[in-house]
Structure 1
Amino acid sequence: MAMGLFRVCLVVVTAIVNHPLLFPRENATVPENEEEIIRKMQEHQEKLRLEHLRLEEEVSRLVAEKEALQQAEEEGQQQPEAHTAWDLWSTLCMILFLIIEIWRQDHQDGPFPECLGGDEDELSGLGGTPLRGLPLPKKATLDHFYEHCIRSATGDATRTREFVEGFVDDLLEALRSVCNRDTDMETEDFIGVGSMYENWHVERPLLCHLFVPFIPPEPYSFHPELWCSKLSMPLNYQGYGQIKVTPAGGDPLGCICGKTKLGEDMLCLLHGKSGGGQPGAGGRDEMEDLLCSKESSYLDAMQVMKWFQVALTKAWHRIAHKYEFDLAFGQLDTPGSLRIKFRSGKFMPFIVTPVIQCKDSDLYFVPQLPKEPCRGTPASSTDWLLSFAVYELQFLRMTAKALPEGACHLSCLQIASFLLSKQSRLTGPSGLSNYHLKTALLHLLLSRRAADWRANQLDVRLQELFCFLERSLLEKKLLHFFVGNRKVPEALGLPEVVRRAEPINLFRPFVLQRTLYHSTVNSFYEMLKNAPTLISEYSLHVPSDRASPPPKAIAL
């Protein structure tokens, strides 16, 4: 018994001596709370004596002292253990917070925002309602609508593409025949891009969009300059570039038009009909004939548009006798916007855009911006928009190979595009476009598992697509899918300079244009409110407004 008590006392003394709070290393004095600890131990001893009345007084005292010593030992151990546990917990919390912060930075643009429900105050100021309060139609209704309205409307897309491609191939061959290969630009084979080739076009009439790359005559070459290759560039220039025209060997005086006699209708790449000299040289009155900007060697988009339209007109006149329809320009401010008009009165629009390839990649510079309020306009006609249309097509095709058969990703995009187009007809165009819808879908495709896109998930994925757009609108932030996105598969072959560039916010104009932003948000929620009724109506009746009246055109 005595040995046991000695061991207990030894443990208690050791614990007290080593306790960091009772005996700090820098202070060897007795702590001030020692009397309080002894008092509590005595009180505990008295309680033990009352509980063991049947035992002898001496045994009760010894047992009470032993229990008191053990209790003191436990308290002495628990305090450093608690201190250690607190330090460990603080460390774990810090590590956890760091992990969350790193994850947030890596996934801050992730495509899985839940539908907003706690932003009623902000939305009330915009006239909107949280998406969770706007239920979309059930899956059965969506399936019926897609089969009877959208799928049937796009059934003849293949025939339309084949017809347009055959005609454009003939038209470009005629264009090459009327151009002088020694002095004029050389056109290459066309490339199909856009919704018609990505198989999600829903609007009527069906519209094919073709890129036609062109190159300068020898000895000249194009040298594209991307915005991300410059040290400083204003935000509104993101996504643009310039094309410098340089002669082989860097000889600025070696223009071929000074060595070759040009025809009456031929234009030198750098100079007008007057020929000779360099851009900005004196003695030339017709500066509007230049394909380069005045007093610079950068290619002018407006001059290229003019050249291309003149060349298409000459090419059509060369082959018009072979066809039993008329050809006219559709929109004068869009290069290559054409419209075939049949004798029956029907028409078929298509777009042939002259583009310049960016080095050896599938990036192309287009001479005119799409008519979208959210994408702005360049400050100069020497600024060309960098198009990722070919990469978008390749990514969709690559992704489709990994998705289940009958995947619903394009169906989601078609339904969303359909609703947006109908809402635009009701309330007018807004800052939201089909390009934004496709960008949101591409983000979802990159992050979602392949199994999530099964056909039976159409309603869930469509809801998620609208949730993503809602979050992007409220944050005024929708990042470009390719620029600065290192998650894009390397197998796609995207240039590294683009992958490492600063991300582009497609919704940045919303920050600067509050009126446009408010109208867009209101239109978005109005579209969702009208969706159930609109889908139900179109499921029962074939819309009569599919064939819109032909736009005004100028005959070639």
Structure 2
Amino acid sequence: MALGLFRVCLVVVTAIINHPLLFPRENATVPENEEEIIRKMQEHQEKLQLEQLRLEEEVSRLVAEKEALQQAEEEGQQQSEAHTAWDLWSTLCMILFLIIEIWRQDHQDGPFPECLGGDEDELSGLGGSPLRGLPLPNKATLGHFYEHCIRSATGDATRTREFVEGFVDDLLEALRSVCNRDTDMEMEDFIGVDSMYENWQVERPLLCQLFVPFIPPEPYSFHPELWCSSLSVPLDRQGYGQIKVTLADGDPLGCICDKTKLGEDMLCLLHGRNSGVQPSGGGSHEMEDLLCSRESSYLDAMQVMKWFQVALTRAWHRISHKYEFDLAFGQLDTPGSLKIKFRSGKFMPFILTPVIQCNDSDLFFIPQLPKEPCRGTPASSTDWLLSFAVYERQFLRMTAKALPEGACHLSCLQIASFLLSKQSRLTGPSGLSNYHLKTALLHLLLSRRAADWKGSQLDVRLQELFCFLERSLLEKKLHHFFVGNRKVPEAMGLPEVVRRAEPINLFRPFVLQRTLYRSTVDSFYEMLKNAPTLISEYSLHVPSDHASPPPKAVAL
């Protein structure tokens, strides 16, 4: 604008300066009359007006261009400000979504809405809960089924436990007698765990699972190393740990086989075939593989199981003459699985597992590899599975004291386990196990009021348990009840390092194995679909073997 005005002023000044009336040229002649002068002045004025119009048009054009440029700059600035505001809004929205997600995960084990109600949340991905179309039998039918098919079938559980415990006591005493206390592992008293000792087992035959803690001979000691004590542990190793064998004073491993005379059939637990050390008894048997992993001071789970099986065999041979039955190893894929075989053809299975206590807690490391595909497998034989079985039993006992008399929490678990067992026999095993059912129940027990577990609420709580499992399957997320769960009462005495650890997703294999996930979901809905018919049929036809007592042993 200023440049255009300057140009106009310059043209005007130039025109005035060059006007012939003000500064006449030297060779110019004065016009002869006034009319001629006026005519020339008018012509010159017209030229000046034309030039002024041209300059005004040019100035207008320049002003328009400048205004357009300024407008473009203002629009660009507004767009930039709007983009900045949008980025800020997007960031705030993202932060808000993260806060909501964190809150949802922290409260995901809270009370869950009833699947049969009308105000509950819809499950993602299915446009509504499929359980709405798969109702379970009514309260009366469930009550009749439980009383005649489950309660009566588990009535002999106490006698079964007493028989197995008496035999195991005798077997462990014989095992201690054949072991050298100076060079062999020392066995402690057994601990009953799992459904048989939590009073909810329904599968036949009844199965007792017993932990047998063992400690090394002096001067050795075990030092457990949890996965959560390391900063970076692969996801497939979560829930496992390793056990380092050291001297009591922390020195590197040594051996006392050259200092203490071993028995004729005793084995050194710390040396291998290539160590060059022979037992002092002069026997011809070569040394068994060492219990520690080769070239490592970490305890090898498979070597421990081999040693334990050999020790049990020797102990049984010592007392077998007292009984009128045989003892054999059971399932090959379950180390520690034993079977009492009676002459009548009947048998009684039980599992005797050597375990190592984790420091002074009720956590135990077990060498038994999980059979369920959804539990995963250890990366190496030095990885031991961390078991919370004792804590689970204690939590159920502690919770039962606060629940109303005749509470339905174990009834829900028994019915769900019964349906899962029948479905597995019908279509084969899936990724869903009894351990997942119990985990879901523990989460519900922690989130529900005690009054919600009255016996009259059996049908509602059972429906809620299946809703919880359905939601967990659809989200492929079922958190371990104890690991990383700070809502667990401190009275349980759970180690703080476990309470503060990152939660373990028991359904993580479903994320990696799509075929397993699809088959598990299909099997789950098929189980719910078959539940009404199955419960009705079993309510009318109670299997005769449910009422038969366990066989008794006869000592000679």
TM range (shorter): 0.7 to 0.9
1:88-133 CA distances to partner (integer Å, 9 max, x unpaired)? 9999999999996774342034351554999999999999971111
Q: CA deviation at 1:444?
A: 0.2
Identity of aligned residues (%): 92
Q: Which runs of 5+ in 2 are unaligned?
A: none
Question: Kindly tell me: are residues 245 and 89 of structure 1, through their superposed partners in 2, closer, same or farther at Cα, counting changes over 3 Å?
Answer: closer
Aligned mates of 2:28, 2:408 — CA distance in 1: 75
Over residues 496-527 of structure 1, what are the superposed CA-to-partner deviations in whole Å (9 max), with x where a residue is unaligned? 00000000000000000000000000000000
Q: How far apart in 2 are the matches of 1:70 and 1:494?
A: 70
Do the aligned residues in 1 keep the contact of 2:240 with 2:384 (CA within 8 Å)? Answer: yes
Tell me: CA distance 1:276–1:64, structure 2 relative to 1, closer, same or farther (3 Å).
closer
8 Å contact from structure 2 (residues 278, 286) kept in 1:
no
Q: CA deviation at 1:349?
A: 0.6
Write the mapping of 1:122-201 to structure 2, written as runs, cut at 5 A: 130-201=130-201
In the alignment, is the contact (CA less than 8 A) between 2:403 and 2:451 conserved in 1?
Answer: yes
- Cα 1:93/1:121, change in 2 over 3 Å: closer
Aligned counterparts of 2:291 and 2:29: Cα–Cα separation in 1: 93
Report if aligned partners of 2:114, 2:463 keep a CA contact under 8 Å in 1. no
Q: Residue in 2 aligned with 1:493?
A: 493
CA contact (8 A) 2:190 2:212 kept: yes
Contact persistence 1:326–1:340 (CA under 8 A): yes
Contact persistence 1:5–1:66 (CA under 8 A): no
Q: Is the 8 A contact 1:182 1:217 kept in 2?
A: yes
The RMSD of aligned alpha carbons is 14.1
Aligned counterparts of 2:7 and 2:406: Cα–Cα separation in 1:
77
Identify the range of structure 1 (296-305 vs 331-340) with the bigger mean alpha-carbon deviation. Answer: 331-340
Change (3 A) 1:552 1:88: same
Query: Alpha carbons of 1:425 and 1:411: their partners in 2 closer, same or farther (altered >3 Å)?
Result: same
CA shift at 1:341, angstroms?
Answer: 1.1
Task: Describe the SS at the equivalent of 1:255.
Answer: coil
User: Structure 1, residues 423-476: CA drift from partner, whole Å, max 9, x if none?
Assistant: 000000000000000000000000100000000000000000000000000000
Does the 8 Å CA contact 1:293/1:382 hold for their aligned counterparts?
yes
Q: Which moved more, 1:461-470 or 1:64-73?
A: 64-73
- Which consecutive residues of structure 1, in runs of 5 or more, have no partner in the other structure? none
Which segment is superposed worse, 54-63 or 236-245? 54-63
**Residues 332-351 of structure 1 mapped to structure 2, 5 A cutoff:** 332-351=332-351
Cα distance in 1 for partners of 2:545, 2:332 equals: 25
Report if the CA contact (8 A) 2:183-2:217 is conserved.
yes
Q: Distance in 2 between matches of 1:28 and 1:113?
A: 111
Please state how far the C-alpha of 1:8 moved relative to its aligned partner. 57
Residue by residue over 1:357-380, the C-alpha shift from the partner in whole angstroms, topping out at 9 and shown as x without a partner, is 000000000002221010111110
Q: Residue by residue, what CA displacement relative to the aligned partner does 1:45-94 show, whole Å, maximum 9, x if unpaired?
A: 99999999999999999999999999999999999999999999999999
8 Å contact kept, 1:115–1:470:
no
| Native 8 Å contact 2:301 2:383 kept in 1 | yes
Contact 2:326 2:342 in 1 (8 A): yes
Q: Structure 1 residues 180, 454: CA separation in 2 closer, same or farther (over 3 Å shift)?
A: same
SS of structure 2 residue aligned to 1:320: helix
Are the equivalent residues in 2 in contact too, given 1:116–1:130 (CA < 8 A)?
Answer: no
Distance between the aligned counterparts of 1:344 and 1:3, measured in 2?
A: 119
Aligned residues of 1:242 and 1:382 also touching (Cα < 8 A) = yes
Distance (Å, rounded) in 2 between the aligned partners of 1:28 and 1:495: 118
Shift of the alpha carbon at 1:31?
63
Distance in 1, matches of 2:79 and 2:229, equals: 61
Q: Note if contact 2:192-2:210 (Cα within 8 Å) is conserved in structure 1.
A: yes
Q: Deviations over 1:216-274 (max 9, x none)?
A: 00000000000000111000000000000001223336421121122232122212477
Q: Contact conserved, 2:109 with 2:444, CA < 8 A, in 1?
A: no
Name the stretch that deviates more: 276-285 or 427-436.
276-285
Report if the CA contact (8 A) 2:152-2:547 is conserved.
no
Q: 111-120 or 484-493, which moves further after superposition?
A: 111-120
Check whether the contact 1:119–1:130 (CA below 8 A) recurs between aligned residues: no
Which structure has the greater CA radius of gyration?
A: 2
Partners of 1:345 and 1:21 in 2: CA distance: 145
Distance of 1:466 and 1:319 partners within structure 2: 47
Q: Do the aligned partners of residues 226 and 62 (structure 1) sit closer, same or farther apart at CA in structure 2, a change above 3 Å counting?
A: closer
Deviates more, 1:5-14 or 1:352-361: 5-14
How far is the alpha carbon of 1:355 from its aligned partner? Answer: 0.3
Is the deviation greater in 175-184 or in 8-17? 8-17
Q: Does 1:228 align with 2:251?
A: no
* Closer/same/farther in 2, CA of residues 427 and 89 from structure 1, 3 Å limit: closer
The DSSP-based 3-state class of the residue aligned with 1:172 is helix
> Residues 253 and 539 from structure 1, CA distance in 2 versus in 1: closer, same or farther, beyond 3 angstroms?
closer
Contact 2:264–2:279 under 8 Å retained in 1: no
Q: Is the 8 A contact 1:279 1:292 kept in 2?
A: no
Of 81-90 and 244-253, the range deviating more from structure 2: 81-90
**In the superposition, relative to structure 1, how do residues 303 and 61 fare at CA in structure 2: closer, same or farther (>3 Å)?**
closer
Q: 1:351 to 1:105 in 2, by over 3 A?
A: closer
After alignment, is 274-283 or 2-11 more displaced?
2-11
Distance 1:103 1:234, change over 3 A: closer
Q: How far apart, CA to CA, are the structure 2 residues paired with 1:281 and 1:50?
A: 132
TM-superposed CA distance for 1:346, in Å, is: 1.2
Q: What is the SS of the residue equivalent to 1:258?
A: coil
State the Cα deviation string for residues 183-224 of structure 1 (Å, max 9, x = none): 000000000001000000001110000000000000000000
Counterpart for residue 390 of structure 2: 390
Partner residue, 2:26: 26
